[in-house]
Structure 1
Amino acid sequence: MIAETVCSAVSAAGLGIAAVTAYRKRYLAAARIAAYSLIPLGLVLTGAVGWAVDTAFSPTAWLGFGLLGGAWAMFLGIRAVEKRKGIPGRKERRAAKAAARRDAVAPTASAPSLGGGRTAEPARPAATPQPQPKGRKQAAAGAGDDFSDIEAILKKHGI
């Protein structure tokens, strides 16, 4: 009975503050204050306040809250042990699955094709210096190699 009276008084005070705020032409703030002040009155009318008072003084309810707290503590302890032992959590497992899906899709699909039967040159040893192109003839030969690849692709498709 006392809790219902207190909640009703809080709602009445809140509505009074909302009226003063609206008188000062701050209508949005007044509407927000009125909304907050109607919450305790709504809780009284739905019976939630009576239930909360009965729950607060019930030993059975406190035992239930204790069990919920114990279960929560167990979950936290289990997570701490998993992290210490290196067992991946939910986020790590999702990231690993996403990485596996990304790698499963043809990783070399965007690499250019080398044509029919032609393979890439084997890598030369690091001790052997690479020959540097000198003059126009060698630079033109390098450009011609690029076009020969394109010509081979066009011939392959009959163009």
Structure 2
Amino acid sequence: MIAETVCSAVSAAGLGIAAVTAYRKRFLAAVRIAAYSLVPVALVLTGIVEWLADTAFSPTAWVGFGLLGVAWVLFTTTRMVERRRGGSRRERRAAARAARGDAPTAVAPAASAPSLGQGSRPAARPAASRGDDDFSDIEAILKKHGI
């Protein structure tokens, strides 16, 4: 009952604002405001407001919403863990079988790798020089700050 009264008051206020807007010769805006202001009354007349009010004050409905939230959290958590591990259990088993050589593979492992000639492959630097460069940069930064 209170929700219906509030919706009716909101609609009446909206129609009043639409009337003032139409008085100012902004007819397109006035019609748009009137359309928005009729929505709450339409929801009251269809019974949606009563259903929402009953749902909002029902402990059973809140438990249901809580369970939906828990289910959503569980779904998202399992998806994150699945992505972090690299696929579903079935995909991991298939990869383990392929690594052991138990199951024959339909395609050779190197078949999906692109074929690049020697000229297009970038020259690799030795790992030791890469590590030394990184540490020298870090040492320079630490010396700069007096550490």
Q: What interval of TM-score do these two structures reach, taking the shorter chain for normalisation?
A: 0.5 to 0.7
Gaps of 5+ in 2: 89-118, 120-147
Q: In 1, Cα distance between the equivalents of 2:78 and 2:21?
A: 51
**Matched AA of 1:82:** E
Q: Match of 1:17, as an amino acid?
A: I
What value does the CA root-mean-square deviation take over the aligned residues?
A: 1.7
1:60 and 2:80 are equivalent in the alignment = no
1:15 partnered with 2:15: yes
Per-residue CA deviations over 1:77-132 (Å, capped at 9, x if unaligned) read 122112212328xxxxxxxxxxxxxxxxxxxxxxxxxxxxxxxxxxxxx9xxxxxx
- Cα deviations by residue, 1:26-57 (Å, 9 ceiling, x for unpaired): 12211111111111101111111111111111
Higher Rg: 1
Letter in 2 for 1:7: C
Amino acid paired to 1:64: G
Report the Cα distance in structure 2 between the residues aligned to 1:37 and 1:30, rounded to whole angstroms: 10
1:9-158 mapped onto 2 (5 Å cutoff): 9-87=9-87
SS of the aligned residue for 1:87 comes to coil
Partner of 1:25, secondary structure, is coil
Output the amino acid matched with 2:16: G
1:21 is aligned with what amino acid?
T
Q: Normalising by structure 2, report the TM-score.
A: 0.56
Alpha-carbon distance, 1:71 to partner: 1.1
Please report how far the alpha carbon of residue 9 of structure 1 lies from its aligned counterpart in structure 2 after TM superposition.
0.4
**Aligned-pair identity (%):** 75
**Alignment correspondent of 2:128:** none
User: In structure 2, what is the equivalent of residue 155 of structure 1?
Assistant: none
Alpha-carbon offset, residue 67 of structure 1: 1.1
Distance 2:83 2:73 in 1: 15
Give 3-state SS (helix, strand or coil) of 1:20's partner.
helix
Runs of 4+ in 1 over 6 A off after TM superposition: none
Give the superposition deviation at 1:22.
1.2
| Whole-Å separation in 1 of the counterparts to 2:87 and 2:27 | 55
Q: Which residue of 2 aligns with 1:6?
A: 6
Runs of 5+ consecutive residues of structure 1 not aligned to the other structure = 89-125, 127-159
Q: CA deviation at 1:65?
A: 0.6
Aligned pair count reads 89
